[in-house]
Amino acid sequence: MTRAISDWAYGVSRVAVMTGAGISTDSGIPDYRGPDGVWTRDPAAAEVFTYPHFMAERAVRVRFWRRYLHHAAWHAEPNVAHRALAELECSDLAVRIVTQNIDGLHQKAGNTARKVLELHGSMRTVVCTRCRVRTPAAETLARVAEGTDDPACTSCGGILKLGVVMFGERLDPGILDHAQRIAVASQLLLVVGSSLRVEPAASLCAVAVDAGARLVIVNRDPTPYDYLAVNVVREPIGTALPRIVAALAGVTASPPTLGP
């Protein structure tokens, strides 16, 4: 389904953008369910990201920290799609980003931190599962690099984990409520690079549409929410998103104000 951008961009002043792993693949960070995705190449890797296994088995934690020590995201740079969304924030539109990603590339591209809601947390922090103290992930990873294969909290000795939502963990209710309020307030929900198969994040599409917003999906593969969208774009994200952003800023630009 392809419609002219002007058909659904006209009159929009409040835009919510929900991003998934697909927006960061051009930055060298593999997605999860694509042809070359993390789970596709190694289905057993999901165990490392499952909270009950992580908490119960030292061997799983050792594998987890080894994997994240050399994760591509630590050295990744924002790509053209991230930069396009940073430019969109500089337009006359009210823009909020709700991301399923944990890589921090939206902020690195120039989006204001308070306007980026990280649904699944951030890999830039580490949290103690016992005392809940948060510390920079770099500190823990330095310990792993020096040979500590299952680092414990330096304050209480509890198990440390990245400050991200693992499989088997509930999304923070406050963060989910914030995301739903952003969706309800939007006139356009632009979904970029998400399979929309992870709930409750994916349900934000229905929340926005039920509140009267237009839904546009930019993703390589079909999603369960395509039927709700006024437009589905299958082009590469790095090609489609800059064009969409430019058109949004142009179509919705306010006419010049004349003097009294």
Instruction: Name the burial class of residue 2, with classes exposed (0-12), middle (13-18) and buried (19+) by CB atoms within 10 angstroms of its CB.
Output: exposed
Give residue-wise pLDDT tens across range 139-189: 999 999 999 999 999 999 999 999 999 988 999 999 999 999 999 999 999
Give 41's pLDDT tier (boundaries 50, 70, 90). low
Side-chain half-sphere exposure of 16, counting CA atoms within 13 A: 26
Res 45: pLDDT: 67
- Are 192 and 17 within 8 A, CB to CB? yes
The string over 153-175, giving b where at least 16 C-beta atoms fall within 10 Å of a residue's C-beta and e elsewhere, is: beeeebbbbbbbbbeebebeeeb
| 156 in a known ligand binding site | yes
Window from 203-212, 220-229, 245-254 with minimum mean pLDDT? 245-254
pTM above 0.95, yes or no: no
Res 40: pLDDT: 54
Give residue-wise pLDDT tens across range 220-245: 999 999 999 999 999 999 999 999 99
| 128 in a known ligand binding site | yes
| 153 in a known ligand binding site | yes
Give the residue numbers annotated as catalytic, written as ranges.
Answer: 120
What backbone torsions phi and psi does residue 126 show, to the nearest 5 degrees?
-125, 140
Residue ranges and CATH numbers for the domains of the chain are 1-29+78-120+171-254 (3.40.50.1220), 30-75+125-164 (3.30.1600.10)
